[in-house]
Amino acid sequence: MIKKIFTAVFLFLFTTAAQAEIVVIGNLKNNLQSLNSIQVEDIFMGRTRSLPNGRIALPIDQSALRSEFYQKLVSRPIEQINAYWARVIFTGQVSPPTLLADDNAVITIVNENKDAIGYIDRKNLDNRVRILLILN
Amino acid sequence: MKVFFGKNLYFKLVSYVFLAAVVFISIATFVFFRIEIDHANDKARTMINQLIDTIETTAQIAVYANNTQIANDVLDGLLHNDVVHKIVITSDKGFSLEKKKDEQVQEQKEIIRELLSPFGDKKSIGQLSIVPNSDFSLQEARYSAFSNAVNAFILTVLTLLFMLAVIRSLFSEPLLRISNTLHNISAGEQERIEPLENNKNDELGRLVVSINKILDLLNTKLSTQQVLRKRVEAAEKKLRNIFVSTSAGLFLLDKDGHVLTCTPTLLKILGFQDASLVSINGQHFATLFFKEPTQFQQMMQNALELEQLEAQDLMLHDGIGISPLWAHCLLSKIVDAAGIIRFEGVIFDISKRVATEKAIRYEANHDALTGLLRRNAAELQLRKHLASENSAATIVLLLDLDGFKKANDTYGHDVGDVVLVQTARRLEACVRHNDIVCRLGGDEFLIILFNCSAVKIGFGIAETIIASIKTPIEIDRRVKVSIGVSIGIALFPVHGDSVESLLKSADEAMYEVKRNGKNGYGMRGKSGAISVNRPSA
């Protein structure tokens, strides 16, 4: 019995530690070199639409990492984020980030779009995009 | 209402309680209103805080997302609440929205809630401020106070109505019954109040018992008093009889001497024939009856000052009868409990006594046979006269009848007495009005002549006497008595300055006349020798 509990705790710690390291990525052609977490939050939560350099940002969500990303960014479960967007969308003033399927789709869009900002698992990172922020 | 208010105790009581209750309720309502306003203000703040709790997340999101649409929705929603007057949402990121109701109200203190970021680090991103509606608190308080007052009023009125009924049946009606019964009972009757069935052992029951006791006591006292009154009446009647029939003339005067009351006997003494028809009350006693009112007034004065019983014989006014009326009067001051001064007195009829006394005195001074003054009285008068200022020119005649002894021996004492009486009358006729004729005893007489400016007057009178006595005295038809008289004369102060010396000188002169043939008068001359003059010889 005690063994079982230990095993469970060990597995839990292992899986947490095994979570992916998420990086926020941007287009190489954009002169934006990096963002802090507040700037990233403002952009993804729809508080601002412009980047620090004045360009209109295009935030990209992805289904695979979405829950983990927001947990790391604003320390809130994904249900609250959804609820937030549900209220904000209702006013018709702002739209949530475009939702894509996985890291590849995000990398592709960011590569193609100068103002796009997305996030991916660091292990899938390649040189087509620039790292703006690393989330732990 | 007013009629009841005055008439019935229970209405009075309940009315007073009602008035008091209205006053208390008013005060309580006012105080309650003040408290309630505070309470309502607190309540309003609590409600507003709860409202803010409800919309806080939405407001946070609106501010977080800079979303005025959501913010407006929040403001509109809040403004629907009565308790809210004005709302302001301020975002740190730039926008500020304000909404308020149209009505003008007193500005209340606003309630401010910091809006925290819904995501991330919970830092403040804006403010929500709400101003409560003061009208709401006021209305709440008003309503609360009013409903309280109405509650209290209704409860009071219901309680009072109940009290009214209870007091009426427990107190007023039994009391009324007692009072009505008492009203119909007159003092001294045997009637009693019936005991109250429902109040046997309480205050009212005891009251009835007590009243009955008093009625019993009253009865006893009344009958006792009736007996006593009869006794007093009998005693008074007796006393009145004594007062009316007493032989003492009692009277009571006020301080100034006016009659207050008197016995009928007094009036009789004072000469009223029918005492019952006269009332002298209020009249002045002294002037009414006494010949010399000042005497009585002096008595009153003495009684007042010396505080002793004054007694005096007084002559009465009404001297119509032959003999004067005299009264013996006793008078003393009395002071009653109230300090009023009066005089009480007794009057006895002493007219008879005075008459008797007068007779006795007359007898003592006068000769019983002739009615002339006795020797003592005459000597007394002479002595008094000699001591007085107009004593000069007084002449004393000493007379001794000649032949009286013989007449007495011859015809007896009765004839002698007639002779003496006749002689006395003749002597009185010979002298002047003021002169004194006195019988010294036996057949000796003394005559005192006052104010004889000349000796001749004395001689003249002596001669008149001798002539008068010489006239025979007719006893009856057969018997005539002839006598003479020898007179010795003495002058004051020539022959003596005292009664004794004058009489001695006269006596010596008289004997000298006897020795010289009688029926004459003699007087010691300047030489010392006695000269005798016999006018008839």
Q: Enumerate the residues of chain A whose CB falls inside 8 A of the CB of residue B125.
A: none
From the list A76, B425, B121, B243, the residue with the least C-alpha distance to B251 is: B243
Token pair recorded at residue B21: 């209750």
Chain A partners of B116 at a C-beta cutoff of 8 Å?
none
Tell me whether B119 touches chain A (CB under 8 Å): yes
**What pLDDT does B199 receive?**
72
Query: What pLDDT sits at residue B154?
Result: 93
Q: How far is B70 from chain A (nearest CA, A)?
A: 7
The C-alpha atoms of residue B140 and residue A117 are separated, in whole angstroms, by 57
Picking from B61, B67, B118, the nearest residue to A93 by CB comes out as B67
CA nearest B436: which of B424, B419, B454? B424
Structural contact between residues A105 and A113, judged by C-beta atoms closer than 8 angstroms: no
Q: Sign (positive/negative) of CA torsion A73, A74, A76, A82? A: negative
Kindly list the structural domains of chain B, giving each domain's residue range(s) and its CATH number in brackets, ordered by start: 2-140 (no CATH), 187-245 (no CATH), 253-356 (3.30.450.20), 366-533 (3.30.70.270)
What sign results for the dihedral spanned by CA atoms B19, B24, B27, B32? negative
DSSP for B353-389, written as a single string:
HHHHHHHHHHHHHB-TTT-PBPHHHHHHHHHHHHHSG
Per-residue exposure over B226-264, b if at least 16 CB sit within 10 Å of its own CB, e if not:
eeeeeeeeeeeeeeeeebeeeeebbbbbeeebebeebbb
B451 at A interface, C-beta within 8 A: no
- B55 contact residues in A (CB cutoff 8 A): none
DSSP state of B446: E
* C-alpha A98: how far from chain center: 11
Rounded to whole angstroms, the Cα distance separating B532 from B512 reads 7
Of the partner residues A45, A92, A93, the one whose CB lies closest to the CB of residue B119:
A45
Report the distance separating Cα A9 and Cα B439, nearest Å.
190
Give the pLDDT confidence score for residue A132 in this predicted structure: 92
Sign of torsion over alpha carbons B144, B148, B154, B157 = negative
Closest partner residue to A87 (CB to CB) among B66, B70, B120 is B70
Residue of chain B whose alpha carbon sits nearest to that of A81: B119
Q: d(Cα B247, Cα B238) in Å, to the nearest integer? A: 15
Q: What are phi and psi of B530, to 5 degrees?
A: -95, 125
CB within 8 Å: B120 and A75: yes
A17 pLDDT band (50/70/90 cuts)? Answer: very low
Residue B263, both tokens: 């016995």
pLDDT at A1: 61
Write the DSSP string, B269-306.
HTT-S-GGG---TTSBHHHHHBSSHHHHHHHHHHHHHH
* Vertex A54 angle, CA A131 and A26, to 5°: 15
Q: Please answer yes or no on whether A45 and B65 come within 8 Å at the CB atom.
A: yes
Which of the residues A41, A43, A47, A90 would you substitute to probe the B interface, choosing the one with the greatest number of B C-beta atoms within 10 Å? A47
Best of B57, B64, B119 to substitute, by most chain A Cβ atoms within 10 angstroms, is B119
Pairing of β B326-335 and β A22-27: unpaired
CB B396 within 8 Å of CB B382: yes
Closest-approach residue (CA) in chain B for A44: B65
The CATH architecture assigned to A20-135 reads 3-Layer(aba) Sandwich (3.40)
Paired tokens of A29: 């052609």
Question: Which residues in B lie closer than 8 A to residue A41 (C-beta atoms)?
Answer: 119-120
- Check if A29 contacts B (Cβ < 8 Å): no
- The tokens describing B17, both together, are 């309680």
Handedness of CA B263, B266, B267, B269 (dihedral sign): positive
Q: If residue A55 lies in a helix (H) or strand (E), which one and from where to where?
A: none
pLDDT at A27: 92
Is B480 in contact with B422 (CB distance < 8 Å)? Answer: no
Question: CA B157 to CA B163: how far, in whole Å?
Answer: 10
In chain A, count of helices (H) and strands (E)? Answer: 5, 5
Q: Over pLDDT 90: what percentage of chain A? A: 37
Distance from CA of B78 to the nearest CA of A (A): 18
Identify which of B61, B66, B93 has the shortest CB distance to residue A87: B61
User: Dihedral of the CA atoms A24, A29, A31, A35 (nearest 10)?
Assistant: 0
Cβ distance B69 to A93 less than 8 Å, yes or no, reads yes
Nearest CA distance, A72 vs chain B (angstrom): 9
Q: What is the pLDDT of residue A6?
A: 64
The span from the CA of B232 to the CA of B242, in Å, is 15
Residue A123 is classified by DSSP as G
Chain B hits for A44, CB-CB cut-off 8 Å, are none
B359: which 2 tokens? 């007779």
Query: What chain B residue is nearest to A76 in terms of C-alpha separation?
Result: B119
Please give the helix or strand (H or E) that residue B230 lies within, else none: helix B203-245
d(CA B136, CA B105): 10
φ/ψ (deg, to 5) at B248 = -90, 140
Residues of A in contact with B67 (CB under 8 A): 88, 91, 93-94
Q: What tokens does B90 get?
A: 């301020």
- A21: number of CA atoms within 13 Å, CB side? 7
Nearest to A64 by CA among A109, A104, A34: A104
Assess A74–B contact: CB distance below 8 Å, yes or no.
yes
Are the C-beta atoms of residues B100 and B131 closer than 8 Å to each other? yes
| B97 interfaces chain A, CB cutoff of 8 Å | no
**Contact B423/B475 with Cβ under 8 angstroms?**
no
3-state secondary structure B393-407: CEEEEEEEEECHHHH
- Say yes or no: B386 contacts chain A, CB-CB below 8 A: no
Q: Which residue of chain A is at minimal alpha-carbon distance from B62?
A: A88
B297 touches A at CB < 8 Å: no
On whether the CB atoms of residues B360 and B351 are closer than 8 A, the answer is no
Residue B20: C-alpha distances to residues B14, B17, B164 (Å): 10, 5, 15
Which residues on chain A are in Cβ contact (under 8 Å) with B61?
Answer: 84, 87-88
Integer Cα distance of B362 and B356 in angstroms: 10
pTM, rounded to two decimals: 0.45
Which among A76, A88, A93 has the least Cβ separation from residue B119? A76
Distance from CA of B31 to the nearest CA of A (A): 49
- What's the pLDDT at B230? 94
Q: What is the mean pLDDT of each run of 10 residues along chain B (537 residues)?
A: 58 86 91 88 89 89 86 89 89 86 78 86 86 84 89 91 86 83 75 74 83 86 91 90 78 85 77 64 78 84 84 72 71 86 84 79 85 88 85 87 88 88 90 89 89 85 90 86 90 86 90 88 85 78
User: Which residues of A, range 93-122, sit inside 8 Å of B by Cβ?
Assistant: 93-94
Residues 6+ apart with CB under 8 A from B245: B265
Q: How far is A74 from chain B (nearest CA, A)?
A: 4
Whether the CB of A135 is below 8 Å from some CB of chain B: the reply is: no
- Taking CA atoms, what residue in B is nearest to A43? B65
